[in-house]
Chain A
Amino acid sequence: MPLRTPLFDTHSSSGAKLVDFGGWEMPLHYGSQVDEHHQVRKAAGMFDVSHMLGVDITGPDALAYLRTLLANDVAKLDAPGRALYSCMLNERGGVVDDLIVTLLAPQRFRVVVNASTADKDLAWMNARIAAAGANAQLLPRRDLAMIAIQGPAARAAVWSAWPESLPATENLKPFHAAEIGERLVSRTGYTGEDGFEIALPAGDAAAFWKALRAAGVAPCGLGARDTLRLEAAMNLYGNDMDESTSPLESGLAWTVDLKDAARDFIGRRALTANTPKRALVGLRFLDRGVLRAHMKVVTPAGDGEITSGTFSPTLGFSIALARLPRVGDADPRPGSDVEVDVRGKLLPARIVKAPFVRHGKALIS
């Protein structure tokens, strides 16, 4: 029996093509994933992300616990409602998962983790509490649904569908959140566009989805979610990084906070002991066709591999993220060309500075 979100009936009755995603039966698209992609870049689209898991972390040791659990420093969250993106590492510096953590109130945090890793993450997080003897409690929130509303018109559509949210969210900055009754509204996303991600009681989800639709928000599936996040050069756990790759080899050095030398977070020693030998870079395909994950990339410094590849609906050509060998202590240089093994043929691609697209605008050509 596949896992289903509180919005499953809504999806199946509106013509969604459903696929298995890490054990969850989720919408791939509602007709055309390319149309859904453009809808998000130009207006507003929404995604059911209820398969992701919110976990509330409470207790007097919650802060100290999260400062050792996560590679980014939760001490930066200096006021309730502030959020940050972080990796959770193992002792070898590999990525157990990536997540967003929000300070809800003193001694009360929420992290949102990936669906396919949720069970593993909970086991890992509980084991770390036990090992540290920390006075902190984990509460998985499977009672919540989550909807991401994204696009230049997304926030206005939320205010139209839910006028009561306006005062608390009108001036919300990126990576800030507001609790409104039983709902948490965060100005975050996975598309490179403006918008909100809203966690709400499962029983309210279908009615809210319907109200958003009436406000002009297009339902979008996982297909568009993947092309949007890749254009925005946002990593996908399991593709672009996993337990065998460090954040420093995954374009995520900016999320590893080494400033507080006394903060001995899990994985820190491994990260600082080794110089990264590979780097995650953006590729722009120079030939026709589509770059895909696991294709081999041939560079003067040795072979690398594409970790995510797609056709970019915004740009009209194929783009990818690839993990390539570093040249001594330097990352592969943007502007230099490499070759990709596309079904047995070596075809040219150019290393480019990611992201590829942000806020509806092409950043490369």
Chain B
Amino acid sequence: MNLPAELKYAKTHEWVRSESDGTLTVGITDTAQEMLGDIVFVGDVKVGAKLAAGETAGVVESVKAASDIYAPVSGEVLAFNDSLDDAPQQINEKPYEAWIFKLKPAKPGDLAGLLDAAGYAAAQE
């Protein structure tokens, strides 16, 4: 399993990177893109939306299926990676570079509900 150690993970297959300005960058894991197969659409992310942890933040669709993506912690959606509009397959090709949205957490620094790489790996078994 390809799981960068510097990231945090949600059981629902999002990865989360803490930026130096206190914001969070969110994408989906290599495991998730592998399960979905060829991704053809990423969307429904609303910039400005205030989400509770676990609330739907958007959708990732492959040829095969649609899968919701969730806010890993409570916060406000700051940005959507609109380069995914024309090239959603970036998520298949480089899942840890092709981020989906950025979040301003309601409680900065509080990532207590998230897993580290080992914890996420264990949750998949």
Please report A residues at the B interface, Cβ cutoff 8 Å. 28-29, 32-34, 223, 227, 288-290, 292, 310-311, 313, 343
Contact = CB atoms under 8 A, between A and B. Distances in A.
Contacts of A313: 63
Contacts of B85: 288
A290 B40 contact: yes
A33 B63 CA distance: 8
Given A32-B38, A34-B38, A289-B43, A310 B61 contact: no
B64 interface: yes
A227 B40 CA distance: 13
Given A33-B37, A292-B66, 20 more contacts: A28-B37, A32-B37, A32-B92, A33-B64, A34-B40, A223-B37, A223-B63, A223-B64, A288-B41, A288-B85, A289-B41, A289-B61, A290-B41, A290-B61, A290-B66, A311-B40, A311-B41, A311-B61, A311-B63, A343-B44
Size class of the B contact interface (CB-based, 8 Å): 10 to 19
A220 to B, nearest CB: 13
A59 to B, nearest CB: 44
B59 A288 contact: no
Interface of B: 37-38, 40-41, 43-44, 59, 61, 63-64, 66, 85, 92
A32 B33 CA distance: 12
B43 A34 contact: no
A28 B36 CA distance: 12
Please indicate which of the listed interface residues A28, A289, A310 has the most CB atoms of chain B within 10 Å of its own CB: A289
A347 to B, nearest CB: 11
A289 B63 CA distance: 10
B26 to A, nearest CB: 20
9 contacts: A28-B37, A29-B37, A34-B38, A288-B41, A289-B43, A289-B61, A290-B41, A290-B61, A310-B63
Given A223-B64, A290-B66, A292-B66, A343 B40 contact: no
Contacts of A290: 40-41, 61, 63, 66
